Chains A and B, each alone.
Chain A
């Protein structure tokens, strides 16, 4: 059986079980709304465009934050890989900050940037930057010494060696870094939006919760999960797979 077929059967069974449970009142509608009412609230949300605006607003923040995280992460990652002093000082700070969930920064960010876009984007950037830094640093440090030796015997050194050999050789790590940065940024974005003002998927989720609209809460959760999975599978895993194959890292 094809994986796609298995998947469809699995999800269909899950939804049927969920619907039947609701019909036979194994749980109360206010605790876990049925798939049909979740579907209805999703349709209503898209029909009156709120969810469309939410998606657009969330993606805008995510895109700005992710691009900034990838750029900053690459820059700092290169610095840490090339300078031992930077690695021993700034590198330790990065490691420490990396273990702090980025949403923890939100109170500070609100003081600095106010209650709106600025603070959410700041949290998204923080969410993606550290993992990008660490991957870029590892990638550059792990370049096969044989590539460097071979390039040197062919007259390459200094900046030329770095740009033509070391950077391309670490591309697989860059891609993995960007993929993880996206995953962390997406989570940070949702957390940030929950605690901030709208529009945005996270904001709508909290708004629905405040009004006891549990079917919309679940609907938004499903959107968050589906978007996350689609971007990961369709974009990042595909790129990663191609790169790993080309770079000869996949058997």
Chain B
């Protein structure tokens, strides 16, 4: 297996020193080149799990292996795209994309490479713009180009389109799908949108909350491009909705119980 999570547990201690289990007994394996979505309601620990694969957060117990190596810290083999583009405002578009490259290649090579990936996200006409001059969707595309430029084995995406409007999001879905087909990257995509996960991924890992566990692992075998298969999409959407409804009800019940008790 290319990415493997073995018996991952994550416990936080809140300010009263009460343990709070965020992830419980997570077992997950992902093959090279797969597009996998991690889907779940907010608070299910899906972003925490992704940050663990990135090496930004450590687990309380259990290991994550990527390409045969245990993850202990962040590395360029795992690119990450966040919900906010996280572009450096003091650098222009090209400089941002070159940021991860500056130590391993000459400036000229870096610029050519940046140009190549900016072309891939259809932003080659904006090399010297500054982030504040770009729309949210454009910023997120630069952020994707920046991650791709360091040629990671895995692209980790944490609700990358969550802050964008519906039309932009839908356009970027198409672009991301093309990039994935072109580059054959392994993509782990965290989202709370059921339709987004069905539209994009080979597999959907559905997570439940309190504590965060994996509920099911669904293989999506609707042929691409998927827009033409509305019925299958709708059926799958309903199936997942049913699964998640129980989880959301659970959260609401708990919140009501908490309010009643306080």
A residues touching B (Cβ–Cβ < 8 Å)? 144, 146-147, 149-157, 164-165, 168-169, 171, 245-248
Once the chains bind, are B56 and A149 in contact (CB under 8 Å)?
yes
- Which of B18-26, B73-81, B173-181 lies at the interface? B73-81
Majority secondary structure, B binding face:
loop
- Which of B85-93, B159-167, B193-201, B233-241 lies at the interface? B85-93
Query: Residue B118 at the A interface, CB < 8 A?
Result: no
Chain B positions within 8 Å of A169 at CB level: 88, 90
**A151–B76 CA distance with the chains assembled, in angstroms:** 10
The residue that B103 contacts in the complex, of A144, A150, A151, A155, with Cβ under 8 A, is A155
B53-76 interface code vs A (CB 8 A; 1 in, 0 out):
011100000000000000001111
Which of A146, A157, A248 has the most chain B CB atoms closer than 10 A to its own CB?
Answer: A248
Once the chains bind, are B130 and A150 in contact (CB under 8 Å)?
no
Can you sample 17 A-B contacts with CB below 8 Å?
A144-B86, A146-B82, A147-B86, A149-B86, A150-B80, A152-B56, A153-B78, A153-B79, A153-B156, A154-B79, A154-B150, A157-B74, A165-B88, A245-B132, A246-B130, A247-B132, A248-B131
Closest residue on chain A to residue B103 by CB atoms: A155
Chain B positions within 8 Å of A171 at CB level: 90
The residue that A248 contacts in the complex, of B89, B103, B150, with Cβ under 8 A, is B89
- Known contacts A146-B82, A154-B76, A246-B132; A168 and B88 CB within 8 A of each other: yes
Majority secondary structure, A binding face:
helix
- Known contacts A246-B130, A246-B132, A248-B132; A153 and B54 CB within 8 A of each other: yes
Chain A positions within 8 Å of B2 at CB level: none
B76 CB to nearest A CB, Å? 5
Q: Which 3 A-B pairs have the closest CB atoms?
A: A154-B100, A150-B86, A248-B132
Extra contacts besides A169-B90, A248-B89 (17): CB < 8 Å:
A147-B88, A149-B86, A151-B99, A152-B73, A153-B55, A153-B56, A153-B78, A154-B76, A155-B76, A155-B103, A155-B150, A156-B99, A164-B99, A171-B90, A245-B132, A246-B90, A247-B90
Closest residue on chain B to residue A250 by CB atoms: B132
The residue that B82 contacts in the complex, of A150, A157, A248, with Cβ under 8 A, is A150
Chain B positions within 8 Å of A150 at CB level: 80, 82, 86
Once the chains bind, are A153 and B80 in contact (CB under 8 Å)?
yes
B186 CB to nearest A CB, Å? 15
B residues touching A (Cβ–Cβ < 8 Å)? 54-56, 73-76, 78-80, 82, 84, 86, 88-90, 99-100, 103, 130-132, 146-147, 150, 156
Once the chains bind, are B84 and A155 in contact (CB under 8 Å)?
no
Chain B positions within 8 Å of A246 at CB level: 89-90, 130, 132
Once the chains bind, are A146 and B89 in contact (CB under 8 Å)?
no
Chain A positions within 8 Å of B147 at CB level: 153
Closest residue on chain A to residue B84 by CB atoms: A146
A162 CB to nearest B CB, Å? 14
Chain B positions within 8 Å of A156 at CB level: 99-100
**A165–B102 CA distance with the chains assembled, in angstroms:** 13
**A247–B55 CA distance with the chains assembled, in angstroms:** 28
Once the chains bind, are A146 and B86 in contact (CB under 8 Å)?
yes
- Known contacts A146-B82, A248-B131; A152 and B74 CB within 8 A of each other: yes
**A146–B84 CA distance with the chains assembled, in angstroms:** 8
Closest residue on chain A to residue B80 by CB atoms: A153
Closest residue on chain A to residue B156 by CB atoms: A153
A241 CB to nearest B CB, Å? 13
B121 CB to nearest A CB, Å? 17
B8 CB to nearest A CB, Å? 19
Chain B positions within 8 Å of A155 at CB level: 74-76, 100, 103, 150
**A168–B88 CA distance with the chains assembled, in angstroms:** 9
**A153–B89 CA distance with the chains assembled, in angstroms:** 18
**A245–B99 CA distance with the chains assembled, in angstroms:** 21
Chain B positions within 8 Å of A248 at CB level: 89, 131-132
**A247–B150 CA distance with the chains assembled, in angstroms:** 25
Once the chains bind, are B89 and A247 in contact (CB under 8 Å)?
yes
Chain A positions within 8 Å of B99 at CB level: 151, 154, 156, 164
Chain A positions within 8 Å of B156 at CB level: 153
Chain B positions within 8 Å of A157 at CB level: 73-74
A160 CB to nearest B CB, Å? 8
Once the chains bind, are A149 and B82 in contact (CB under 8 Å)?
yes
B141 CB to nearest A CB, Å? 15
**A89–B201 CA distance with the chains assembled, in angstroms:** 54
